[in-house]
């Protein structure tokens, strides 16, 4: 199974700023997925990141708020833009065909 690494593991950010989260996988994959887990809640899919094309966003998530990059087959970034306390969550990535997740990025916005 693929090994998925996320950076940073946690961060505390000021409202109005942006944070970029990195996801690195140890094998080449076409699709990577970004999820959000709000405090005390379950996971919700934010978007699917395909290498070579624009990310596909789920209902309720928009590119301006969560821009995604996918520069190659082993790496993706998710940016949380213009943050507010409501963005405090754990953000997780996973990859195609694996059903495994990175350890997540715990974001607190103050």
Partner 1 sequence: AQSVTQLDSQVPVFEEAPVELRCNYSSSVSVYLFWYVQYPNQGLQLLLKYLSGSTLVKGINGFEAEFNKSQTSFHLRKPSVHISDTAEYFCAVSDQAQAAGNKLTFGGGTRVLVKP
Q: Is residue 97 part of the contact set for partner 1 (CB under 8 A)?
A: yes
Output the CA angle 35-37-39, nearest 5 degrees: 165
Q: Is residue 42 part of the contact set for partner 1 (CB under 8 A)?
A: yes
Q: Is residue 2 part of the contact set for partner 1 (CB under 8 A)?
A: no
User: Considering beta carbons, is residue 11 or 96 the nearer one to partner 1?
Assistant: 96
User: Tokens 């990195």 map to which residue?
Assistant: 22
Closest CA to 104 of 12, 7, 38, 15: 7
Adjacent-strand bridge partners of 80: 19
Q: Is residue 94 part of the contact set for partner 1 (CB under 8 A)?
A: yes
Residues of this chain that bind partner 1 (CB under 8 A): 31, 33, 35, 41-45, 48, 90, 92, 94, 96-104, 106
């Amino acid at each position: 199974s693929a090994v998925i690494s996320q950076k940073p593991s946690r961060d505390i950010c000021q409202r109005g700023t942006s944070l970029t989260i990195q996801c690195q996988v140890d094998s080449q994959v076409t699709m990577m997925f970004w999820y959000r887990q709000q405090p005390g809640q379950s996971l919700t899919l934010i978007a699917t990141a395909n290498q070579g094309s624009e990310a596909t966003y789920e209902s309720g998530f928009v590119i301006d708020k969560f821009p995604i990059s996918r520069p190659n087959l082993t790496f993706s970034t998710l940016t949380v833009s213009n943050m507010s306390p409501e963005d405090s969550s754990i953000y997780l990535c996973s990859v195609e065909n694996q059903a495994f997740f990175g350890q997540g990025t715990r974001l607190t916005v103050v």
